[in-house]
Amino acid sequence: MPSYTPPLRDMQFVMHELLNVTADLQAIPQFADTDVETINAILEEGGKFASEVIFPLNISGDQEGCKHDKVTHAVTTPKGFKEAYHQYVAGGWPALSCDPAYGGQGLPLVVNQCFYEMMNSANQAWTMYPGLTHGAYAALATHGTDEQKKTYLHKMTSGEWTGTMCLTEPHCGTDLGLMRTKAEPQADGSYRITGNKIFISAGEHDITDNIIHLVLARLPDAPPGIKGVSLFIVPKFRVNADGSIGERNGIYCGGLEHKMGIHGNATAQIVLDNAYGTLVGQPNKGMQGMFVMMNAARLGVGNQSLGLTEVAYQNALAYAKDRIQMRSLSGPKAKDKPADPIIVHPDVRKMLLTAKAYAEGGRALAVFCAVLLDKSHYHPDEKTRKDSDEMLSLLTPIVKAFITDNGHISTNACMQVFGGHGFIKEWGMEQFVRDNRINMIYEGTNTIQSLDLLGRKVLGNNGATLKKFGKLVAALVEEEGVNEKMSEFITPIAILGDKVTKFTTELGFKGLQNPDEVGAAAVDYLRVVGHMVFGYFWARMAQVALREIANGNTDQFYVAKLQTARFYFARLFPETTTLMQTARTGSKVLLDTDAALA
């Protein structure tokens, strides 16, 4: 059976030693009292909830799955899921980062981010039930009317009601302009909505009394394509004027998807049959509200793979220390045993260090982005808000695609450490691989994220935002350029920074001549920039570790951090050379292939 220990020490390192998040947070009036002790205490309790309450349900939830009653359309979640959710609500966890105006605790989003990483490690399928509610909450808080906020946000904040996002239809996935769900206006200002949605995570369940669906649909006079999409609130049960639950609405689960992973989460086929709904925001401007949810979800999906990378690494490390197989090539290491533990073998260490480097690099980026989110929402200075939002926009596709791709690499590597046992259900490793696989697909496939990064976020503004991140790299290079002990970390990112500038310019010119060149290079490009971003954070982590060691700190944590940084730059970072080479081969080798693909 697998185990899980919340990585509190590394979280504390990233927040307090690497990024000094309290300095940023205390510049925001509502977070002025935030301190290190408070953050640490909350996350310690959050870690207990994750490891003691929902982690024990992970394997059983996967094995049992959800059950759908075709007559009543009701969905039953795995044994223990509902009771765990009640503990989650009783502990006040849904309200952690919500607005006090709606009953929230008003804590920074970065605290919620770290809590959710631990829950994703413990049980991704369970965590998706409350997780999607945060996106729905954010969309309504940003674009909802006062009446809508009053009706729904208090209950969503308390956790009494959950939320979903209903986008995909059987004939359209990412291309939402093709959707057919219709919304007919009514005399009372409401709408009647009819259509079918698929792949709706947590779309139906028995965990809460009501589910608040945010649904994309078309008005009768809507223009074609994405510019004709509107957003609606469609509750499972209508809400009475006094806030109590009213009659059943015309929205129900027509079936559950049979999936590779996340079996404990109800991925529902949703039928809307003349369902009552109210418009969110302006007609035909639904993507404005939905993008609030989608951007939050993309950060959340990266966090899911971060959590799975961490828990897979922990279990692979423990197994590698215990499992004995063969002798070290350089001579016996465990002379009192008939064979050595497999952790002595170089390739086993490579697999373990890959997962460790990607987990800790991902955590640094995820926390950095969560602080940007806090600043973009709440900072009193308008320029700081704008700059933070711009940087977050650049980094969001990297969080979603790079961290989930790395999660795929890492969970597979950790399963490999177990050998044949990794392929067997009882050890839990194959579940981490299966659960992670969806993260590369939903909320916009990783190819879509790559096109978004290169086409929109970089070339769309002539690289202006990328240059701003480049200034962070340049400042670190300037600060540590003459420090010999930092040269093995500084030199690679300085060289790559220059190469990325030229690489981006080259792709921009090629794209002007033939847009397919952007499509052909985008996936490789995102991984190159992802490594540049990770390289920056790993260099900064090495900087902190070296400083602590120089000051006489004997904590082996810093030695471990330094060794992991060296591994990352020696074994993972050089992938950028190959990626730039393959990206430069262009679109012809991909598109001039009609005979090959006949």
φ and ψ at residue 461, rounded to 5 degrees: -125, 30
Q: CA–CA separation, 418 vs 414, rounded Å?
A: 7
Contact 272, 197 (CB under 8 A): yes
Give the pLDDT means over successive 10-residue stretches in the chain (598 positions). Answer: 97 98 97 97 98 98 98 98 98 97 97 98 98 93 96 98 95 85 98 98 98 97 94 98 96 98 98 98 90 86 98 98 97 96 98 99 98 96 97 97 98 98 96 98 95 97 97 97 96 98 97 97 98 98 98 98 98 98 97 98
- With 0.95 as the threshold, say if the pTM is over it: yes
φ and ψ at residue 71, rounded to 5 degrees: -85, -50
Q: CA–CA separation, 251 vs 273, rounded Å?
A: 6
Contact 446, 404 (CB under 8 A): yes
Q: CA–CA separation, 192 vs 530, rounded Å?
A: 44
Looking at residue 291, its pLDDT comes to: 79
3-class SS letters over 31-57: HCCCCHHHHHHHHHHHHHHHHHHHHHH
Task: Give first-to-last CA distance, the chain, whole Å.
Answer: 47
Contact 320, 466 (CB under 8 A): no
All residues at 6 or more sequence positions from 451 whose CB lies less than 8 Å from its CB, including other chains? 518, 519, 522
Known catalytic membership, residue 426: no
Looking at residue 177, its pLDDT comes to: 81
φ and ψ at residue 268, rounded to 5 degrees: -105, 150
Residue 294 in tokens: 């989608």
Q: CA–CA separation, 14 vs 424, rounded Å?
A: 35
Looking at residue 289, its pLDDT comes to: 83
Element (H, E) at 143: helix 109-143
- Helix pair 109-143, 286-322: axis angle to 10 deg: 160
Q: CA–CA separation, 460 vs 451, rounded Å?
A: 11
Distances (CA, A) of 30 to 108, 136, 369, 576: 9, 23, 19, 42
- 473 in helix, strand or coil? helix
β-strands 210-217, 161-166 pairing? parallel
Looking at residue 1, its pLDDT comes to: 87
The half-sphere exposure of 23 on its side-chain side, counting CA atoms within 13 A, is 7
Looking at residue 546, its pLDDT comes to: 98
**Closest by Cα among 112, 104, 109, 236 to 159:** 104
Question: Of 117, 443, 517, 548, which residue is the catalytic one?
Answer: 443
**Closest by Cα among 237, 220, 239 to 228:** 220
Contact 292, 142 (CB under 8 A): yes
Q: CA–CA separation, 465 vs 384, rounded Å?
A: 14
The half-sphere exposure of 331 on its side-chain side, counting CA atoms within 13 A, is 0
- 221 in helix, strand or coil? coil
Q: CA–CA separation, 355 vs 339, rounded Å?
A: 25
**Closest by Cα among 538, 540, 573, 541 to 558:** 541
Q: Quick one: the chain helix, strand, coil %, rounded to 5?
A: 65, 10, 25
**Closest by Cα among 239, 240, 213, 216 to 226:** 216
Looking at residue 173, its pLDDT comes to: 80
